[in-house]
Amino acid sequence: MESKKNTEMLAGWIMNVAVLGLILGACWYFRSVLVYILAAFVVSLLGHPLMELMRKIKVRGKQLPDALLAVITILVILGVLSFTVTQIIPVVLHIVREASVMNTQNVLLITPSSIRSMRESEAYSPAWDPSLTS
């Protein structure tokens, strides 16, 4: 009786692993389509609140058509994306580039006495010192 129960449990585990393998295999096979589905899902998550907000706008007492609201929403999302690409990413790349050419030997020259002198300066605030937080 006990061995039959263990056999059934093992068969259940094997079936679960086989189904999981089939699902993962299908995801791998259709990965290019899944990328577009995920992108559409993200755009819809971003656009839905904006659509709901713009539905409250009335022109001559009438609500704007959903097609126009969808176009405006997509343009706003594309505008935010293009702003991010053109303004924020170059700044991040500049910071990374500066950090990559930084001389690490100079960082190692910081001594406990220089840290102590920084702590004694007027600009020092204990709130900024992570070593003092518990």
Q: Where are the alpha helices (DSSP H) in the chain?
A: 2-29, 31-54, 66-83, 89-100, 104-108, 112-120
Coil, helix or strand at residue 129: coil
- Between the CA atoms of 42, 43, 49 and 52, what dihedral angle is there, to the nearest 10 degrees? -140
pTM value surpassing 0.75: no
- Give the residue-averaged pLDDT of 54-74: 90
pLDDT tens digits, 70-114: 999 999 999 998 998 899 888 888 888 887 877 766 666 666 666
pLDDT tens digits, 31-41: 999 999 999 99
- Give the residue-averaged pLDDT of 108-125: 65
For the chain, the domains span 7-40, 64-114
